[in-house]
Each structure stands twice: as C-alpha cells, then as structure tokens.
Amino acid sequence: MRLSTAILLICGAFCSTTAAQDLGDLTTVDKWKKVAHGVWSAELGEASGEVRYSDLAGAPPKIERLNRLKNIPLPGRIRKIGYHVNSDQKLMVRIPTSVGEKIFGYGLQFDGTQKNGKILTLKVDHFSKGGGATHAPVPFFISSQGYGVFFNTAKFLKVYNQVGNRKDSKTNPPEVDRNPPDDEPQSGRWMAQPPGDAIEAYVHGKGMELVVFTGTDLQDIVARYNLYCGGGAMPPLWGLGFWHRVPSKFSAAQTVQEINDFRKHDIPLDVIGLEPGWQTKSYPCTFEWQRKRFPDPGGFTKKLLDDGLHLNLWENPYISQHARIYEKMYPLSGSHLVWLGIVPDYTLQEARDILIEQHKQDHFDIGVSGYKIDEVDGYDHWLWPDHAVFPSGTSSESMRQTYGLLMQRMFYKELYHKHNLRTFGLVRASNGAASHYPFAIYSDSYGHDEYITGISSASLSGILWCPEIRSAGSDREWINRMHTVCFSPLAMLNAWASGTKPWSFPDSTGAVRNTIQLRMQLLPYLYTAFADYHQNGVPPVRSMLLETGRTNSRQVGREREINGENAPYADGDEPEIKEDNSLFMFGPDILVAPFYNRSVERQVQLPKGNWYDFYSGQLVGNHEEIKVTAQQTNDLPPLFVKEGSLIPMLKKPVNRTREIIGTDLEIRYYGKTDATCSLYEDDGETFGFEKGLYNLRKFSVEMQTDGTLRFSQTMIHEECRPMFGTATLKPMAR
Amino acid sequence: MRLSTAILLICGAFCSTTAAQDLGDLTTVDKWKKVAHGVWSAELGEASGEVRYSDLAGAPPKIERLNRLKNIPLPGRIRKIGYHVNSDQKLMVRIPTSVGEKIFGYGLQFDGTQKNGKILTLKVDHFSKGGGATHAPVPFFISSQGYGVFFNTAKFLKVYNQVGNRKDSKTNPPEVDRNPPDDEPQSGRWMAQPPGDAIEAYVHGKGMELVVFTGTDLQDIVARYNLYCGGGAMPPLWGLGFWHRVPSKFSAAQTVQEINDFRKHDIPLDVIGLEPGWQTKSYPCTFEWQRKRFPDPGGFTKKLLDDGLHLNLWENPYISQHARIYEKMYPLSGSHLVWLGIVPDYTLQEARDILIEQHKQDHFDIGVSGYKIDEVDGYDHWLWPDHAVFPSGTSSESMRQTYGLLMQRMFYKELYHKHNLRTFGLVRASNGAASHYPFAIYSDSYGHDEYITGISSASLSGILWCPEIRSAGSDREWINRMHTVCFSPLAMLNAWASGTKPWSFPDSTGAVRNTIQLRMQLLPYLYTAFADYHQNGVPPVRSMLLETGRTNSRQVGREREINGENAPYADGDEPEIKEDNSLFMFGPDILVAPFYNRSVERQVQLPKGNWYDFYSGQLVGNHEEIKVTAQQTNDLPPLFVKEGSLIPMLKKPVNRTREIIGTDLEIRYYGKTDATCSLYEDDGETFGFEKGLYNLRKFSVEMQTDGTLRFSQTMIHEECRPMFGTATLKPMAR
C-alpha cells in the first residue's frame, strides 16, 4: 500500500480554476485635487467618515506661502498609485517605486531615517526598535525621487516599504535556486528578502485620504508638508533657553533653592518644570495644586516670572476621582480607565471646555507658561485598550493615534493662542499634521545614539525632538549629552527621578556651562531659524538629508530660491542621497557632529562645499572625512559652518532670555565668498507676529576687489520694537 | 495679559453632555448551545461568515467520548460573558474573571504558561517574547477556576488578560496617590498596572464563535478541548523513534553513509529527514527530486524502508516557476509571492488536488513517510503581506493563521489517511483545533530554557512541540539537550546547517546513546500515552499544571475517573495551581526534571505524593524540594515516578522501532501501594485502530498482606496481533 502505484485520474477540468478570481486588481487613484503648488490630495475608497490628521490638528494650510513656491506638475508616478479594499475590510494602497529609490521618514524613528526593506506598523507607542511603533509614528515619507506622501488617516497603518512581490509584477527579481547542485554555479545571489517594487500600506477601513508633495529637493518637500500643516511651530523666545525639571516631590521652597543654585553656578535658566507631585493626587491626576508643597501657587509663579523664569507643569491626562472636574468629565470620558483615572474624550468641545476652564483658572491665570503632557503614548499596558469606546464615537485606535495631537491643539489653541500668549511644551506622543504645534517629544528610552538619530528623524516629519539629559555614567558622557541637548530644539535637563543638576559632575561643570552659554549666545540665530520654520516650513534643526545638493542657506522672509527642476533627482544628475544621522544641521549654516556616549573624538564625513571650524574659522575640509577631538573643541561640541555664512550671535552670554533685549550682536563671518543672513525679531511672547508685527533684518558681506569685506545691514520688514542691540561684523580667521 | 483675570462664563448647559453616549454597553451572550458534556458553543455578533479553526481543521468532535465524561453544568460565570461591536468594526468579547484567578495557555509560548497581566496579540509568527506572536498562537486558555475558552475564529486576536479597568466596573482597585506629601502615608501600594477583572479580547470583524469547556480539573478541561478537536494525534510507532535530519545539500550516497555511521555507533534511528537540497530548486520549491543528488529516489527510499527507516522531506509551500505544477497552480495562488514563489490557496480543493497528486506520485508512491512543512509562520518579511488577496476570497489574515493547519490537514487527510497509512511530521506553524494532526512544531530559536518551557506550554493547547537539538557549546550541553529531546513528543537531531551527529561530542557519546536507548525502551509506555491522547485527549507529554490535585494515573481505554465536583477549584478547598515549567510529565507517571544548558545539578520541587527515583526505585521525597545531580543519574535525565506506578518498558533497547515487535517487556513497579497500568498495541502504521483493531492489556500489582506482590495481566480489548512479547514484573527497590 505504501508503494501503491494507483494513479489518480486527473481530468482536464482539474487544471483550470473555477474559483472566484479577485487577486486584488487595483483601482487607480485618478482624482487628484491640487491643493497648492506642489501639493495634491485624493480620496481612496469611501473616505468621508475617516478621521484625518489634518482635520484633527486643525491648522489650515498656508496656501499663499505654498503658492509662492515653484509650481511643479504632479509627478507621473503618482498617477500609478492604486488601491484595493480586501474581503476583510483592509484598505490597501500601492505606491510604485523604482529600483534604487530611497524612502525616508515615518516620524520619530530612533533606528534610522531610511526605511527601504522595512515593515512598519505606525502606531503611537513607546519606541519599539524597528517595528514602526513610536511616540510619533507620522505616516509621511519622502522619496529620493522627489516626492512625499502623507497618509492622512488617523489609524494604525502598516507599511511594507519595498517588501513583498506581487505575482503580476513585471519587475520582480529572477528566481535563484538556494541549493544548487555542487557542479552548478548559482544563477545569482539568493536573497532572503527579494526587493519589492512598491510601497504597500493598509488600514482597517474603507477609505483614506492621501496627500502628495513634491518640491525641488527633499528640504523643499518637507517644507511644503509643514506649510500644508499650517507652518512650523513658533515658540516664545524663552522656550529656547535652558530648561530644568526638578524631582517629583519637590516643594516650592526646594524649587526656589534649586533656582538660586543655578545662579550660584552661573548656569543659564529659563524654564522650571514641576513633575507630578505638584498636584493633590497623581497617577491619576487632579491638576490641582498640592498646598502642602505649594502653599501659594500664585506667589510662587509670580516670584519665578519676576526672576525671568517660566513654569511648566507635568501632567498626564487621566483624571482622579479627587479632581474638581471629575464629576463633570465622567460622562465625557471613555469606557476604560488609565491608572484608574478617567480618559476624557477631547474630540468633544464640552470636554475641552471643562479642562481648559480649570487649567486657565488654576494655572494660566497665575502665570503658568505651559505643560508637559506625559503618557499619551502607551505602551498597551498603560493605556486604554484598542477596543475601548469613547462617547463621541471616535474609535479607540484613532483616539490613540491622536490623543497627543488633540492635547497639543487644545492647549495651544484654546488656552494660549486664545489669550495671545505663546507657549512651548513637551508631549510624549504626536502624529501627522503636528508641525504647527509648539511641543517637543521626549522618551523614556535613553540611548545617546538613538537620541542623536531622533534629531534627524523628527525633522523629516514636522515634529520637534527633545533629547533630554537625565544622568550619565561619567563626566565625559555628561558633557557629550549636554552638547546634544543644547543643539536640539528644546534644551532640557530632566531631573525628575535622578535629582541631577548641571553641576552634578563637578569636573564637567565648566564645559557644561560653556555649552549652555553658547546656546544662549546663538539664540538670535536659532530664533530666526524657528521663524523660518514657521513662515517657510524649514525645520530649524534638521537631518543632513535635507541639505543634499544645497550650498546656499535658506533665507527667512524672502521668497525661497528655486533653482531646481521638476523631480530633481530623476534625471541622472542627481546628488547622492545618503543618510548620516550622526550629523545634523542646527539652523541653516551650522553642522553639529556630536561626540557619542563617552567618546572624546570622532570621524566626520563632511558634505560637499567648504566647511569651517565654528570656533576658529579655519577651513577644515570639503566632502571628505575628518577627525575631530574634544581637545580641539575645548570640550564644546564639534560645529562646522558652511562657506559664506553669517551667524548672528549675542556678543556675550545671558542667564535669562529676557536679558537678550538690547544685547549687542556679533555677526560671525565664515569663508571667502559673499554672504547674507537674516535676523528675525518680534516681541518674543505674543502672537503679534501673525499680524506682521515682526522685524526682518538682512546682513550682507561682499568681498571687495582689494580683499576687504563690505558689511551692510538693511531692514526688510519693520513692525516691532527691536529685540537686539547693535550688530557688528566679526570675520573669523580665513 | 498673562495674569489676566478674565473669567470664562460657564453656563449650566456646559456641564451636561449632549454627546452620543455609547460606552460599549455589552450584549450578554445567552444562547449557549451544549455540544457535549462539558462543552458549549455560542455565536457572538454576526459570525456566520467567519472562518473557524474547528471547521478548517475539519476533525469532528468526539461526542461519544465526551459524553462518557462527567456531565457538568455550564459555569455560571460563563453567562456573564458579553460582547460589543465597536464603531471601527472591532468585535470585543469580555469574559469576567475573579481576583486571584489564574489564566494559562494561548498556544506555544516560550516565556511561560501563565498569562495574567499580559496583552497578547495572537498571530502566527516567529516567536516574539511576550507579545503573543508565536508559531502556534492557539486562542484557547484555561482558568484555575475550572473552565476553558476557545476563541474559534481564524483572525489575529488581541487579548487583554486582566489588563484594563472599565470605568463602570464595581471591582476596580482603589485609587492610590503615587506622590503623596511626605507627611501623609500612601493609602496603599501604587500599582503601575492595576489588575483588571476580566479577559477582554477583540478581532476586526463582526462576529465569532466561542467554545467553552469545563471539567473536573485542568487536565480534564484540556482533554475535552482535544476531544472537541477530534482527539489527539496518533503517530505511527516509528514516529516515536529517533529522527536525524542531514545537511541541506546531502546526496543519497552521503545520507546512506550517515545511516551506516549511526549503526557503527550503535545509535538508534528511525527517521531520516532530507532538507531543501533534495529538490531541483528550493526557495522557492519544486517538490521534485534533484537527480544529481538522488539519481534513483525510489531505490533510495526502498533501501531505507528495507532497513526499517522512514524518510521525511523538507519543503516550504512556495512554488518555483520550474515546478511541474506551477502553471496549474498559478491561478489558484494568492496575489503575492514568497521568496518569489507562488502561494497556493489550499482552501481550494483544486489546489489541494494538484499538490497531492504530485506528492503522491513523486513521494508517497515510492515510500516517503511524511513532511517537514517549513516557513508557514512568517515573520512578516518572509511571508505574504497582511493585505494579500487569495482566489477563494479567504483573507490574508485568516490564511496566515491557518496555513500550517491547512497543510497538516491536507497531508494527513488527503494523502496519508486516504491511503490508510499513518504519518508523523513537522510543521512550523499551527493554531486552534490542531489536536488531531500528527505534526510537531519546531522553531528557529534555540534557548534551552525556552525549549523546555515549550513542552509544558504546547500541552495546554492541543499541539506537540519538538525541542530539536542542533548543536551545543559543550559536551555537557549536548547531553542535556539530548535529554530534553528524548523526553519530548518528537526526538530529533536537526543537522541541516550544523552537520552534527549524535557522536559529534565524543566524550558525551555514551550518555547520548544511553539516553536515546532509554527512549526506545520506553516506547511501549509512550505509545500507550499517545493512544490516551487519541482516545481521551490527554496530552502524552505535559505541563505539571495538568497534574494539579491528581494522584492517580490516567488509564487509557477505561472510562475516565471522575472524582471532582463542578468548578472544582472554586470551593476554597482548591489545590494550589502554580506553574513550574522546569518540570513536565512524560506519560502518566514519569516526571522529567531536565538539566538546563550546561548544568550538572538542579533543584526539583516535587509535587504532592511520594516520588521515586526512576533508575533506583528509591523514594526521593513528597512535596518538597530536592537536589539532583548528573552524577546521581549517571548522565541520564532526572526522572521521578509516582507512587504506585507501573511502567511498561522493553527489556532491552532496540535500534529500530520495528525490532520492538515481539520484544519482551519488563513492567517496572514503583512504590508501596497497589498499582495498575494499561498497555496499548496496534499494527503501528495503519488506521486500523479507528475501527477498533487494537489491544489493551491491563497490568496490576496488589500488595499482599504478607508484603509480597501479586502481579496480574488481563486483556481488556483484543483486536490485533500483539506488538510485544512476554511481560514480567520488575519491582524496583522500595
């Protein structure tokens, strides 16, 4: 029987299938709607009922700014995008890609910016290396082929980046036998993961909106995304100073003592952050002052403000039974608790009103300047379940993707913007269309390499990353981490658990002080970069990817220079686009090459163009690898400046940003060519700038035929009191 | 403005919500249908279109066997199960649990069997520690409260095991302030994860079927699950011998040489496994013989069979363009490729017919005895995407959950069972309702602790785990791993990549030989345990959880003893149910306490009752911790035997299972009390046993008043030629 030779009779009919044939033939997306120059949207499937990040974020696109940019036709490849709704209600969208095309982005991703060959489940969560789950899983990618795609749907999105081969594809790699006979050569390299020719992504749902961007280069594409999302965030000037968060159970007296110690050590300070214990109850929270620790919150806050300091309050959104607003909020909260606190449904105006009223009365009215919104990211064990139900009918999944976004919008729009006062805060989760909101993301993780990568990564997706410092294993690590912190969008020491101070590692205190003071001196330059973010969408601290092929600085306030052509990297003359997350740009002209962990030296692969040492002004190289040591930088971070740059800086460091007012500037000049830069000024704290109440000054250096420099400054836009004093040129060694 | 005292006017209407209130009020599941004694099913929502594991596995419940078991009413708590279909088409089911209730199961989980406080996404995948993704994510749990629940839906299932607190729950823990003032004591222990009072689970879908089991204890519950799934798998006798897989590119000649080397080293061997290179092409596969390596497959197979050996062929399901069946299968395959091979839709009869025809002709008819079905588990990068489409309309998700199951069913039913020949094989993914299929699961992971845990874990969910040995870092590890292998359901050395042999670590060869020979001697006992699995659903190798509260052995072929009461552990008199995955039962009476990694000693927490050393027969303890060393066991695995056990063994080891026929038995007797055991016999290779063609012999020992033993044997069921020779009692030292 085992060796039975009985032959199954096979009839011809066997060989043709009678099964229903639906192999996911795609519907081409053909109804692209032009939103503005270089921006198109299209709906796939039945998208009318889907929650969109852009609607939820609610910052209208800066159409007028976008339309000042080069008008580029819809890339032809976009017309090949197709979609399919599967039998189990998965909406799959397929975006064809080319061989060699590189894919970057998808929000805050500590494991790198390039995503070819990766499968990402974009879901708000603690960071999980490689899988896509992260604090800010922005469903937006940019391609080396000169376009970007934003999946504008507040759902978990699973994206296959050139992973997977369709059987009907014409461009699959050839089959290779993995185990050929010994006397037969392998027909090619067998690949465990044969590259696919598309990005395929799906959600559970019936439809979604896609928004496509193009531009003259990657920076231009990202800038247009940010303009589509309302333009970048504009923090108050004080928000760019140094932040310090005190331990959880610190009292008012302890906090004041800590502030005095900062002064004693001559360390700049602008913001004090209180952690959970300022409240009567926490985890879940009341948002009400714990009078045993803070007997006079108004007096305490006023004392800080009088000293030029701003107060930031920690909170997570989960409300205690002991909170004044608990009863009113209860019916407006979801089916499940987090840490036994109710979870308000902030898609409801009534819920927002309740929170904002209480926050205004208890915090805003006494001078609190902003919030740190914690634990809106998960992980699963510390959040409502995916099947929780909310009174507005918003799905748990959409709520999870957008809770951080909702809270940013609420605090920004309905508290601070409404009362014409800027804020800058922290939030532990964000997502698509968040560019406009002045909150930086932070994490519980602490890998220095990841924190440095985060700076580049965040800049590709309209978010700001705060690589906070908490502790260190040595003086050297303390210095190096402080470098990273001070050249990030939000410079903060978070001592909530560690109790550290900037001077906690005594041998490093000089270097730490110098680093923070350098940040303070650079505030005119950084503040101008933020104005560029706001007005033109260009991230103030950003990935080197966004510099590829550029030699000129972006100039704030001017119509942006358009040198490129359509799909600039598709014509064979493309620059090499290569990720290097160990470097990043701080503003338009300064390249930062941080020392990692405890290192005192590193290699730096300089991009094309001449680069100058920030401190000495010496030429260090052009498109070559150099070595830099901590001895050379005098324990300051390695900084390199582009050919022909002007860096507006304070002549002397200040201890509070308010001391900037009227302080004289030096305009450092690097290189050998003509140079210009802009300087932005406003009142530093209101939204007057939205009505044009700001100044733009232009500084120029022209090289004269006799080798001398001609320095000039002009006021391009003058609608406010000047922030700074006299500016003088400081040519650096040439 | 910052200190603005403007007060928001709050109207009364503000405080009451007008929002739609749907907080997920649950629909109680009230239509429970009794399937058999202790088994009920109910449909939740619209379940008619959902793919069910039980339908797909297709082994009908053993109703008659179930109805011989104690008739227990539906536990009251089951009537409190409710469900809700959310706005985004998530079907959530809530199963209330008690404080202190323990939850075990969910398939093959290397990180332990108890799942309280865990969130599991049950998805077929490589094993990912802790998250639920695994080779066999069976959606079945058992509770210390005396019931089990099977989520009978072939979808990704996300289960929150007492994680999450509903705001309307009456049994939430009290709030505790995490940061009380220093002068106030904390009102209790603040918990990062306050325990929930239910299991909540969801799928994307409109409905599902639940199947509930109860029983007199955990073993009884698991047994009923297995009976519901058709009864446990019954391998051929040869399948329980020793397996060896040769390297990928081995030829027929090399394989024969390897077999000769086994004989030279006097190492038992029953099955030879060929890895991918036996085919003309692999990754993707042709399933056709590579004639350069195997010029005469029929002759090769016959040579093996003549030598008492069975041949197992590796394959993965992804079909090469070079395969004979490619053209016919193409239209019956899914939208995406895996390793550039097409992925047949085996829910279609036509597709199965094509494969089975080819396999019968090329393999079965020349004597191939079974398959190793590789890479049906993922991970994502090595599988079709979740949004792939299949011609039958089966969703990609259901296909992923069931592909391993489909292939087991196909090979078992449509090839081997159809031709009345048993098979035993390997598969890298399985799922719900798989109990009936004679395939063991294996993994690419290799942690010895995980492999040991896998033995206990698998036994709770109707699956068999093969903790294969591949290599080791030392002689001692080689020995210890061989112990684990030889006391598992399928004992295999997998040398596909390592090229190891049992004698690869020369100093260990004696111990390895002794271990394998001991397994061979124990085959009468193990084969009988498998018969118990088949007939009564009791796992042959199993978790200590299934022994809790038991002192008697399960007796195959007899109506099972019912000593318990309804919900046996709910009455306060419950035994302590505690996981200890470092121990497991091999058959009804032998406790295995493997040495881990390179250890030569360990502690053993003996359960209640007297336990005896297997080798010496000495009493070693009763409900106490003892130490055992490799010196004591003479490098054999630590084995302990229950009070009053009879172990039927071969008098001498054999090199092939076929040599068992007619070999005399010794019935080892342990302890001081009366004892009985059963011995099962059949023809070892056909399905005659399904028609009653088997023998059951009962052995008894009665302690006489004078202290002598009275040994007797009776034939309970006699319908086949005896397998074994004469049985004599061997009383071990008392």
The CATH number of the domain where B653 resides is what? 2.60.40.1180
Mean pLDDT of A156-177: 96
pLDDT at A11 over 50: no
Closest Cβ opposite residue B17 in set A8, A158, A331 = A331
**pLDDT > 70: percent of chain B:** 93
CB contact set of B669 (below 8 Å; sequence gap of 6+): B645, B646, B675, B701, B709, B711, B729, B730, B731, B732
| Distances in whole angstroms, Cα of residue B415 to Cα of each of B299, B349, B371, B407, B423 | 21, 13, 11, 11, 10
| pLDDT category of residue A560 using cuts at 50, 70 and 90 | very low
pLDDT tens per residue across span B402-441:
999 999 999 999 999 999 999 999 999 999 999 999 999 9
Name the H helices within B88-246: 218-228
Mean pLDDT of B73-83: 94
Res B80: pLDDT: 95
pLDDT at A571 over 60: no
User: Does B200 touch chain A if contact means CB atoms closer than 8 Å?
Assistant: yes
**pLDDT > 90: percent of chain B:** 89
Question: What letters, b where the CB count within 10 A reaches 16 and e where it falls short, cover A614-628?
Answer: bbebebbbeeeebeb
Quote helix, strand, coil % in chain A, to nearest 5. 25, 25, 50
Strands (E), A171-270: 198-204, 207-214, 242-245
Mean pLDDT of B159-187: 93
Indicate whether B73 and B217 sit together in one domain: yes
Name the H helices within B432-587: 448-459, 475-486, 509-521, 523-536
List CB contacts (< 8 A) between A24 and chain B: 335, 387-389
CB contact (8 A) between residue A389 and residue B86: yes
- From B455's Cα to the closest Cα of chain A, the distance in A is 28
Res A1: pLDDT: 36
| pLDDT category of residue B22 using cuts at 50, 70 and 90 | low
Indicate whether B389 and B458 sit together in one domain: yes
Please check whether residue A177 lies inside any domain of the structure.
no
Res A567: pLDDT: 37
Please check whether residue B76 lies inside any domain of the structure.
yes
CB A117 within 8 A of CB A106: no
Distance from C-alpha of B106 to C-alpha of A160, rounded to nearest angstrom: 28
Please check whether residue A569 lies inside any domain of the structure.
no
Indicate whether A286 and A386 sit together in one domain: yes
Last residue of a domain, one of B490, B523, B556: B523
Indicate whether A209 and A254 sit together in one domain: no
User: Does B387 touch chain A if contact means CB atoms closer than 8 Å?
Assistant: yes
Mean pLDDT of B602-616: 96
pLDDT at B24 over 80: no
Of B454, B401, B386, B410, nearest to B137 by C-alpha is B401
CB contact (8 A) between residue A365 and residue B4: yes
Handedness of CA B317, B319, B323, B329 (dihedral sign): positive
Query: Taking the complete model, does pTM exceed 0.90, yes or no?
Result: yes
Which tokens sit at B102? 């323990």
CB B323 within 8 A of CB B333: no
**Average confidence score pLDDT of chain A:** 92
Distance from C-alpha of B407 to C-alpha of B423, rounded to nearest angstrom: 13
| pLDDT category of residue B551 using cuts at 50, 70 and 90 | low
Q: Which residue of A has its CA nearest to B192?
A: A339
Name residue B609's amino acid: G
Q: At what angle do helices B218-228 and B523-536 cross, to 10 degrees?
A: 70
pLDDT tens per residue across span B478-516:
999 999 999 999 999 999 999 999 999 999 999 999 999
Interface test with A, best of B84, B389, B399 (most A CBs within 10 A): B389
Torsion of CA B10, B11, B16, B17, to 10 degrees: -80
| pLDDT category of residue A401 using cuts at 50, 70 and 90 | very high
Res B47: pLDDT: 94
Please check whether residue A12 lies inside any domain of the structure.
no
For residue B111, give the CATH number of its domain.
Answer: 2.60.40.1760
Residues 149..168 of B with a Cβ closer than 8 Å to A: which? 155, 158, 160, 163-168
Residue scoring higher pLDDT (A561 or A597) = A597
Mean pLDDT of A67-82: 94
pLDDT tens per residue across span A26-47:
999 999 999 999 999 999 999 9
Residue scoring higher pLDDT (A734 or B74) = B74
pLDDT tens per residue across span A572-582:
445 678 999 99
Please check whether residue B406 lies inside any domain of the structure.
yes
User: Does A578 touch chain B if contact means CB atoms closer than 8 Å?
Assistant: no
- From B140's Cα to the closest Cα of chain A, the distance in A is 20
Distance from C-alpha of A560 to C-alpha of A540, rounded to nearest angstrom: 15
- From A332's Cα to the closest Cα of chain B, the distance in A is 7
Q: Which residue of A has its CA nearest to B166?
A: A336
Distance from C-alpha of A236 to C-alpha of A258, rounded to nearest angstrom: 23
Indicate whether B390 and B252 sit together in one domain: yes
Q: Which of A453-462, B1-10, B445-454 has the lowest mean pLDDT?
A: B1-10
Question: What letters, b where the CB count within 10 A reaches 16 and e where it falls short, cover B488-511?
Answer: bbbbbbbbbeeebbbbbbeebbeb
User: Does A122 touch chain B if contact means CB atoms closer than 8 Å?
Assistant: no
Closest Cβ opposite residue A393 in set B20, B290, B381 = B20
Distance from C-alpha of A392 to C-alpha of A368, rounded to nearest angstrom: 30
The ipTM (two decimal places) reads 0.93
How many structural domains is chain A composed of?
3
List CB contacts (< 8 A) between A155 and chain B: 88
Of B154, B150, B145, B158, nearest to B229 by C-alpha is B150
Residues 13..52 of B with a Cβ closer than 8 Å to A: which? 14-24
**Average confidence score pLDDT of chain B:** 92
Q: Which domain holds residue A707?
A: 646-731
Indicate whether B380 and B257 sit together in one domain: yes
Cβ neighbour number for residue B674 with a 10 Å cutoff: 12
Mean pLDDT of A153-163: 98
For residue A368, give the CATH number of its domain.
Answer: 3.20.20.80
Name residue A377's amino acid: D
Res B563: pLDDT: 32
- From A298's Cα to the closest Cα of chain B, the distance in A is 10
User: Does B457 touch chain A if contact means CB atoms closer than 8 Å?
Assistant: no
Question: What letters, b where the CB count within 10 A reaches 16 and e where it falls short, cover A202-241?
Answer: bbbbbbbbbbbbbbbbbbbbbbbbbbbbbbbbbbbbbbbb
Interface test with A, best of B383, B386, B394, B687 (most A CBs within 10 A): B386
Residue the block writes with tokens 């009476």: B589
pLDDT at B674 over 80: yes
Res B617: pLDDT: 97
CB contact set of A313 (below 8 Å; sequence gap of 6+): A273, A274, A278, A363, A368, A370, A371, A372
CB contact (8 A) between residue A178 and residue B282: yes
Closest Cβ opposite residue A167 in set B89, B333, B361 = B333
pLDDT at B6 over 70: no
- From B199's Cα to the closest Cα of chain A, the distance in A is 11
pLDDT at B152 over 90: yes
| Distances in whole angstroms, Cα of residue B464 to Cα of each of B129, B225, B408, B412, B525 | 19, 15, 13, 15, 17
pLDDT at A330 over 60: yes
CB contact (8 A) between residue B395 and residue A193: no
Mean pLDDT of A620-644: 97
Of B564, B588, B568, nearest to B678 by C-alpha is B588
Indicate whether B279 and B220 sit together in one domain: no
Last residue of a domain, one of B183, B206, B228: B228
Mean pLDDT of A594-614: 97
Instruction: Tell me the three state secondary structure of residue A569.
Output: coil
Res B574: pLDDT: 55
Indicate whether A422 and A285 sit together in one domain: yes
Last residue of a domain, one of A489, A523, A557: A523
pLDDT at A339 over 60: yes
Res A266: pLDDT: 98
| pLDDT category of residue B210 using cuts at 50, 70 and 90 | very high
Handedness of CA A454, A221, A577, A602 (dihedral sign): negative
| pLDDT category of residue B185 using cuts at 50, 70 and 90 | confident
Res B733: pLDDT: 75
User: Does B676 touch chain A if contact means CB atoms closer than 8 Å?
Assistant: no
Mean pLDDT of A136-143: 98
Residues 166..195 of B with a Cβ closer than 8 Å to A: which? 166-168, 172-175, 177-179, 181-184, 190, 192-194
CB contact set of A164 (below 8 Å; sequence gap of 6+): A196, A198, A200, B336, B384, B385, B388
Res A575: pLDDT: 67
Q: Which residue of B has its CA nearest to A343?
A: B167
Indicate whether A205 and A290 sit together in one domain: no
HEC profile for B269-331?
CCEEEECHHHECCCCCECCCECCCCCCCHHHHHHHHHHCCCEEEEEECCCECCCCCCHHHHHH
Distance from C-alpha of B270 to C-alpha of B685, rounded to nearest angstrom: 13
pLDDT at A683 over 60: yes
User: What are phi and psi for residue B79, nearest 5 degrees?
Assistant: -70, -10
User: Does A396 touch chain B if contact means CB atoms closer than 8 Å?
Assistant: yes
pLDDT tens per residue across span B130-151:
789 999 999 999 999 999 999 9
pLDDT tens per residue across span A514-529:
999 999 999 999 999 9
Distance from C-alpha of B453 to C-alpha of A596, rounded to nearest angstrom: 40
Q: Which of A171-180, B84-93, B564-573 has the lowest mean pLDDT?
A: B564-573
Indicate whether A274 and A384 sit together in one domain: yes
Q: What is the DSSP string of A375-431?
A: S-S--GGGS--TT-B-TT--BHHHHHHHHHHHHHHIIIIIIIITTT----EEES---
pLDDT at A557 over 60: no
Q: Which residue of A has its CA nearest to B321?
A: A175
Which tokens sit at A367? 């001078």
pLDDT at B604 over 50: yes
**pLDDT > 70: percent of chain A:** 93
Of B141, B28, B157, B31, nearest to B91 by C-alpha is B157
Res B5: pLDDT: 34
Indicate whether B195 and B278 sit together in one domain: no
| Distances in whole angstroms, Cα of residue B133 to Cα of each of A119, B119, B121 | 16, 11, 6
Indicate whether B21 and B64 sit together in one domain: yes
pLDDT at B94 over 50: yes
User: Does B64 touch chain A if contact means CB atoms closer than 8 Å?
Assistant: no
- From B259's Cα to the closest Cα of chain A, the distance in A is 22
Q: Which of A14-18, A108-112, A337-341, A669-673 has the lowest mean pLDDT?
A: A14-18
Mean pLDDT of A364-390: 96
Distance from C-alpha of B102 to C-alpha of B105, rounded to nearest angstrom: 10
Res B13: pLDDT: 29
Interface test with A, best of B18, B94, B177, B416 (most A CBs within 10 A): B177
User: Does B144 touch chain A if contact means CB atoms closer than 8 Å?
Assistant: no
Distance from C-alpha of B161 to C-alpha of B196, rounded to nearest angstrom: 8
Res A364: pLDDT: 98
CB A467 within 8 A of CB A586: no
Interface test with A, best of B387, B389, B658 (most A CBs within 10 A): B387
List CB contacts (< 8 A) between B163 and chain A: 380-381, 385
CB B568 within 8 A of CB B217: yes
Please check whether residue A70 lies inside any domain of the structure.
yes
**pLDDT > 90: percent of chain A:** 89
Question: CA-based angle A184:A185:A191, to the nearest 5?
Answer: 125
Under the phi-then-psi rule, with left for phi > 0, alpha for psi from -120 to 50, and beta for the rest, what region is A247?
beta
